Structure 1
Amino acid sequence: MLNNTLNNVNGMRVAMHNLGCKVNSYEMDVMSIRLKEAGCIIVPFTEKADIYIINTCTVTNIADRKSRQMLHKAKKENPDSIVVAVGCYVETGIDGVKKDDCVDLAVGNNKKSEIVDILNTFLEARGEYDDKTLGGNSIIDINHTNEYENMQLSEMPEHTRAYIKIQDGCNQFCSYCVIPYARGRVRSREMSEILTEIEGLVQKGCKEVVLTGIHIGSYGLDKGEPMLVDLVEKIADISGIDRIRLGSIEPRLITAENTRRLAAIDKLCPHFHLSLQSGCDTVLKRMNRHYTASEFEESVRLLREAFDRPAITTDVIVGFPGETEEEFEECRAFVEKIDFYEMHVFKYSPRKGTVAAGMKEQLTDREKTVRSDVLLKLTKEQSKLYRESFIGEKVDVLWEDSEEINGKKYMIGHTDRYVRIAALEGSERYESAVSGEITTEAVRGFVNSDTLLI
């Protein structure tokens, strides 16, 4: 039972659960660090805790449902605990959050860095506020702020790789997407703060950074002009960083000039996640995407011309409102021609408040599932062929962690193209991999469908 005499978080057991994207993961890592610095004891979410913090997601209806399920699970685990809903689901569903008896406190985006102060205020108030937002002090109007929330990692969440948040918000307003309403407009982090954070993480063993955000191609846009490529060039100058990897970007970033500059950065991984969503122009137009299929294809051509076998991955939505059989076939043929390393396939999910939710000709879940299965089968085949192309070649592997596969222990790592590699315990290769450094080894074959053996 929660000790009702406590008025600060020092000594409290806190369980945390993250849902959603890498931006959420980064923010959860920062919150965890700040809570530990305040004297909290971080425990697994499966254990009984005084405080449960769920970093929520709202990108789909399923994400909303999972957020509610985790909030209810926490309260069921310990009815006397403080259950805190944090993030995107709070922003888009605050009325429902306030009515949910399982939620004690709601914290919006751009307030996560204040988690310790917010919790301490909640404990001190002891029921003074009845709106779950401390009288509006734990949430702001996210759609009318130009302020980037200052957060910084001071510890490595993984052994060798760190996700670095460089911006927040999105100005695109795709017709299906609720994220601009949950994250607000584009707000870029100061470049000097990003570089300082990375320099500090290098001292903790960081070898690879992955630049992440809600729409990283817009980095710098709010300050006058896009500056993502400039940032990558600056990071490359940091001693100790071996790899720089980009998060999801839009094809419009891949111009001839930007590609030339990116190709000149030796530390940049030839792994590009270009967000497609559909390979059919009429569907792209209804989605309010700001490019055509041919423009996307030109971006892929530029990358493949500048980089050796770049790993190009993407997202595709099937079953968008009004998507005909002919439009889907056009999309299927397009993604087959592009030949992605991997596709993340999503069935369209209507989001309240978006333009697409009010469109006519909504497809059935069965129709979406059939189309999803077609693309999932295709990406499985294409992905296997891409991995297979490295068998017999030497690849550079950054080793990360150990894992058991089919009853055997392996050290796991990734190449610069994000191809997953394994070294069997007891082998010479395993011993060299334990150090966590980058090693160059020859690929011998498959461990399983998504992992190669060296």
Structure 2
Amino acid sequence: MNNKTIATYTLGCKVNQYETNAVEEIFTQNGYTLTDFDDKSDIYIINTCTVTSMSDRKSRQVIRRAKKNNKDAVVVVMGCYAQNDPDTIIKIDDVNLVVGTKDKNKIFDEVQKITNHDKVVRVTNIMDELEFENLSVTSYTKNTRAFVKIQDGCDRYCSYCIIPYTRGRIRSRNIGDIVREVQSLSDNGYKEVVLTGIHIASYGKDLKKSKDKLIPIINSQKDDFIQADISLIDVIEEVSKIKDIHRVRIGSVEPIIISDDFLQRLTKIEKFCPHFHLSLQSGCDDTLRRMNRRYTTDEYKNAVLKIRQYFDSPAITTDIITGFPGETQEEFEKTYSYLSDINLYEMHIFPFSRRSGTKAYDMKNQIDNDTKHKRSEKLIALANKNKNEFEQNLIGKIFDVLFEQKEEQYYHGYTKNYVKIHVKSENDLSGKLIDVRIIGFEDGRLIGELII
């Protein structure tokens, strides 16, 4: 009997979380027991992020924590930071194996070959990778919703972003594999799935073009789908056909994907969750051009208006970078005014982080940290105001809520448009999908009551 243990720690995005869960599943299927990262374990795996310099620093901090509870453990580092800078990571004391964003399904076999004294780097050129690495997750230990990775890589090359260099070319997952994984998750009791990837708006671009139509046959052989001129909307439609999946949610998308046809097809999918994370980054066209973002503020606004035309109370969220090189005070004020006008539900504000290897790293007119943070604080205040207004406008409305867990006296869960609701109940609501009327707003939280 195998009594060995594994502990993991994930930094960064939902794709990283999915990949960590997939690696965990490989180990547990081979007899390992999953333990907490701060407990004694035989193997520690850290899945790293490199989107900002802060991400690199946090990754190193977590790596150095790994062997505190077991000096004889094997430490594995994977993910985007490992892909981008393996030489730095392998020099960190106690790191035994470095794997990038490829060959994650080989980590288990690699670990069986090494000791806690070895120093092994298994990082290859990700730009040479042309096929999607098929991992699988059939269960999550702590979630009521399941993430399903459908795509990897990015070809947009925004001037500030290191991720295309760490994730490589666009690779789309076979739609049959996606459907089978979602079916397995449904069989294990999951009611909601989130389709995620590095750039899911590009799903299908790399697939072989054919005159054949998409043929859906669920739970059949591996060739049950013919990949033919398909895109993200086709994946959403096929996944939504699985009987016991009640909700289908999508990760971050670009405004380029928002068209009348796309939205019309979405409105016909009752299970679709109208939460759109539309990446913006700046509300000034001059800044967007320097960022190499391939849309204008007018195009973005039109996408927002279209979504609001097709859906009732959709939650539209975004990311904004402050202090991008060359961002004048006038450009920042344009961004502030623009964001005030379009009034999004949530905005994640980030001061610009200079990443070596990107075009923005060498740009002139870098902005000082003090200015970046002051601009961030101003936008955060606006974001909080917009969020409070959006949520208070929901009072009196009825939503179905998928409940997660209890916090103090309240169970919390999320509506289809990803608004967090708190409800008092003596009954266990975890994992249940129940209609709730929103009755108030207290201490920054929306309060609801069950409709029995």
Task: Name the TM-score, length of structure 1 as normaliser.
Answer: 0.91
Residue 433 of structure 2 corresponds to which residue in structure 1? 438
How far residue 36 of structure 1 moved from its aligned partner, in angstroms, is: 1.1
Q: Hey, what's the Cα distance between the residues in 1 that align with 2:349 and 2:393?
A: 23
**Is the contact between residue 410 and residue 425 of structure 1 (CA under 8 Å) also seen in structure 2?**
yes
| Alpha-carbon contact 2:396-2:438 (below 8 Å) kept | yes
Check if 1:352 corresponds to 2:356.
yes
Match of 1:3 in 2: none
The aligned residue for residue 135 of structure 2 is: 151
Counterpart of 1:303 in structure 2: which amino acid? I
Secondary structure of residue in 1 paired with 2:206: helix
| Distance of 2:59 and 2:421 partners within structure 1 | 33
Shift of 1:158: 4.1
Letter of the structure 1 residue corresponding to residue 72 of structure 2:
D
* Match of residue 160 from structure 2: 176
1:239 aligns with 2:243: yes
| Conserved 8 A contact 2:396-2:439 | yes
Alignment correspondent of 1:286: 290
Count residues in correspondence.
Answer: 429
Q: Is the 8 A contact 1:384 1:450 kept in 2?
A: no
Evaluate the alpha carbon distance shift between residue 81 and residue 158 of structure 1 in structure 2; reply closer, same or farther with a 3 A threshold.
closer
- Structure 1 residue 450, shift from structure 2 partner: 4.0
Show CA shifts across 1:210-262 (max 9, x none).
11000000011111455101111111211111111110000000012111111
Aligned sequence identity (%): 44
* Kept in 1: contact 2:132–2:173 (CA 8 A): yes
Shift of 1:277: 0.4
1:185 maps to which of 166, 169, 173: 169
Aligned with 1:222: secondary structure? Answer: coil
More displaced stretch, 223-232 vs 304-313: 223-232
Match of 1:295 among 278, 299, 302: 299
2:44 aligned with 1:52: yes
Give the letter aligned to residue 259 of structure 1. Answer: L
**Pairing 1:369-408 to 2, within 5 Å after superposition:** 369-404=373-408
The alignment's C-alpha RMSD in Å is 1.6
Take 2:90 and 2:144, find their aligned partners in 1: how far apart are those partners?
Answer: 40
- Relative to structure 1, the CA distance from residue 366 to residue 394 in structure 2 (aligned partners, 3 Å threshold; closer, same or farther) is same
Q: Which residue of 2 aligns with 1:30?
A: 22
**TM-superposition CA deviations, 1:275-330 (whole Å, max 9, x none):** 00001000000000000000000111111111112110000000000100000000
Selected match of 1:108 from 97, 100, 109: 100
**Whole-angstrom distance in 1 between the partners of 2:17 and 2:446:** 24
Aligned-pair distance for 1:72? 0.9
**C-alpha contact (below 8 Å) 1:88/1:183 kept by paired residues:** yes
Q: Which residue of 152, 161, 178 corresponds with 1:194?
A: 178
Cα distance in 2 for partners of 1:175, 1:79 equals 42
2:444 to 417, 441, 449: 449
Question: What is the rounded CA distance, in whole Å, between the counterparts of 2:430 and 2:333 in structure 1?
Answer: 48
- Given that 1:156 and 1:205 are in contact with CA atoms closer than 8 Å, whether structure 2 keeps it comes out as no
1:112-127 matched pairs, under 5 angstroms: 112-123=104-115
Shift of 1:381: 0.7
C-alpha separation in 1, matches of 2:374 and 2:236 = 40
1:59 and 1:177 in contact (8 A); partners too: yes
Could you tell me whether the CA contact under 8 Å between 1:19 and 1:67 is conserved in 2? Answer: yes
Give the residue type in structure 2 aligned to 1:200.
Answer: S
Residue 114 of structure 2 aligns to a residue whose secondary structure is helix
Partner of 1:227: 231
C-alpha contact (below 8 Å) 2:404/2:430 kept by paired residues = no
Report what 1:417 is aligned to.
417
Counterpart code for 2:411 = M
| Structure 2 counterpart of 1:4 | none
Alignment of 1:20-99 (within 5 A): 20-99=12-91
- Contact 2:264-2:310 at 8 Å conserved across structures: yes
- Residues 167, 213 of structure 1: 8 Å contact kept: yes
Structure 1 residue identity aligned to 2:417: R
SS for the counterpart of 1:327 is: helix
1:12 corresponding residue in structure 2? 4
Q: Is the 8 A contact 2:138 2:184 kept in 1?
A: yes
Unaligned runs of 5+ in 2: 210-228
Whichever residue aligns with residue 442 of structure 1, its letter is: R
Pairwise CA distance, 1:143? 1.2
Q: Show the counterpart of 1:261.
A: 265
Contact 1:147/1:187, CA 8 A, preserved across alignment: yes
Change in Cα spacing, 1:451 to 1:53, as seen in structure 2 (3 Å) is farther
Once residues 98 and 445 of structure 2 are traced to their aligned partners in structure 1, the CA distance between those partners, rounded to angstroms, is 39
Cα offsets for 1:328-355 (capped at 9, x unmatched):
0001111111100000001100001000
